[in-house]
């Protein structure tokens, strides 16, 4: 995994930060788009590398609803959580 896979754009950094701040929550694509002030298609595009890296969990439900959550079991996500928590302590 490369850092570029996790931090390709400002929007992707914003998504990662939002997930780290709300690590016990599950989000739908439309809700994330509203919070981040981007289109749902942008959320799908920036989430794709995070899903590939297993940092982000993704499920598709009935009628096409897309659900996302931080994959707290993934080693990369655990390191991101540690890093984020340490940065916030500064």
How remote is the C-alpha of 10 from its chain's centroid?
Answer: 13
How remote is the C-alpha of 75 from its chain's centroid?
Answer: 15
Q: Indicate the pLDDT class of residue 19, thresholds 50, 70 and 90.
A: very high
Over the stretch 32-48, which tens digit does the pLDDT of each residue have?
999 999 999 999 999 99
Phi, psi of 67, deg, nearest 5: -115, 135
Domain chopping of the chain, boundaries: 3-89
Label the pairing between strands 56-60 and 26-28.
unpaired
CATH number of 3-89, picked from 1.20.1250.20, 3.10.20.30, 1.10.10.10, 1.10.3720.10: 1.10.10.10
């Amino acid at each position: 995994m490369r850092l570029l896979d996790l931090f390709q754009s400002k929007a992707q950094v914003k998504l990662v930060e939002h997930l780290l701040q709300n690590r016990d929550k599950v989000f739908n694509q439309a809700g994330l788009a509203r919070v981040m002030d981007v289109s749902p298609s942008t959320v799908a595009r920036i989430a794709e590398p995070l899903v590939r890296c297993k940092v982000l969990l993704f499920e598709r439900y009935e009628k096409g609803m897309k659900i996302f959550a931080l994959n707290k079991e993934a080693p990369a996500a655990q390191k991101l959580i540690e890093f984020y928590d340490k940065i916030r302590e500064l």
